[in-house]
Amino acid sequence: MANGCVAPELAFEEDGEAEELGSSADAIESGNALSYNALSYNALSYNALSYNALSYNALRPEAASALKDPGVGGELFRTLVKYTVSCAFKESQSFRFSWTDAAGATHNEVYAGHLGLADRWDRRPLDEDGKQMVSACLAAHTNRYGVSVLISMRSPQNPLRREVESDELSTYPHLEGAFWGNLFAETPYLRACYNEANVEIARAARRDCAAGHPGADGDLEGCGMIEIVGSCQDTCGKVHRPGQYYKDCRDPESGKTRYVITTGLR
């Protein structure tokens, strides 16, 4: 995840004993770990997302100072990296480092992987597919209010394509919308579209980053850098019924993309 170059105090682990950190890889109501599906808690603040240092490789040595910053900037960056690891790495992988707060207390962090969208990032540069899938995942995890909501994430791309099972589709039947983008581009961007039929359901669930938050002037307010481009019906076409996802979407600048994550709500 760092182009093969990691600071001595930053380390990756695979098949190690990872400490539980209360992240998106937590157990759901049944107490079972999220190992075999694409359910994930989202609570990534768009303020953390806007603190975009991923463009210079979040886990390279030059990012170590940001990870260890005891101030607000460090807190935002650590949150962003935690979600990035959860999106990119699989459950047998983790990323660990330590930092010292303003009171002199040392925090030994272990960020656990979950979805495995770019699980080879710890050994080689992130390819274009991985950049776009991790970016879409981060966008899908963003919550305007910092509220944790359990969502189902689907995509025509593996491993999400093969991980979403029929019981998950039936339990999370309301398609919220779709997310895509590239936070690693020279000019980082994220986009979202909404499912017209479920806008009110999404807003009631405190999920406004695809549907948008109605402002006092009647305009839709987005989530930081996530640009809402309109309805998914206009932007992405028909839903792929067996998997309940949009197969591709038309980006207003870069054209059609297959690296799209569709989200489902209860």
At 21, which helix (H) or strand (E)? none
DSSP lists the bridge partners of residue 14 as: 93
170 found inside a domain: yes
Is pLDDT of 123 > 90?
A: no
Is the Cα torsion angle 52, 54, 45, 249 positive or negative in sign?
Answer: positive
- Give the span between the Cα atoms of 46 and 32, in whole angstroms: 28
1 found inside a domain: no
**Which of 58, 53, 46 is closest to 89 using CA atoms?**
58
- Give the span between the Cα atoms of 80 and 67, in whole angstroms: 10
Q: What is the pLDDT of residue 12?
A: 64
43 found inside a domain: yes
Distances 68 to 13, 37, 63, 75, 138 between C-alpha atoms, Å:
19, 33, 9, 9, 22
- Model pLDDT for residues 47-83, shown as the tens digit of each residue: 554 444 444 355 555 567 778 889 987 888 888 888 8
156 found inside a domain: yes
4 found inside a domain: no
Q: What is the pLDDT of residue 187?
A: 85
Q: Residue 225's CB: how many other CB atoms inside 10 A?
A: 17
Residues 6 or more apart whose CB falls under 8 angstroms from that of 180 comprise 132, 135, 136, 139, 190, 191, 249, 251, 257, 259, 260, 261
Q: Please give the residue range of the domain that contains residue 112.
A: 11-265
Q: How many residues does the chain have?
A: 266
3 found inside a domain: no
More confident residue, 16 or 121: 121
Is pLDDT of 38 > 60?
A: no
Return the percentage of the chain with pLDDT > 70, whole number.
77
**Mean pLDDT, rounded, for 36-43:** 43
- Model pLDDT for residues 18-28, shown as the tens digit of each residue: 333 223 222 22
Q: What is the pLDDT of residue 15?
A: 63
Choose the weakest-confidence range: 39-48, 70-79, 152-161, 237-246: 39-48
5 found inside a domain: no
pTM for the whole structure: 0.82
Residues 6 or more apart whose CB falls under 8 angstroms from that of 163 comprise 36, 37, 38
Residues 6 or more apart whose CB falls under 8 angstroms from that of 241 comprise none
Mean pLDDT of the chain: 79
Q: Which of 41-45, 144-148, 183-187, 224-228 has the highest mean pLDDT?
A: 224-228
Question: Total structural domains in the chain?
Answer: 1
Is pLDDT of 16 > 80?
A: no
65 found inside a domain: yes
Q: What is the pLDDT of residue 248?
A: 97
Residue 166: which pLDDT band, with cuts at 50, 70 and 90? confident
Q: What is the pLDDT of residue 23?
A: 30
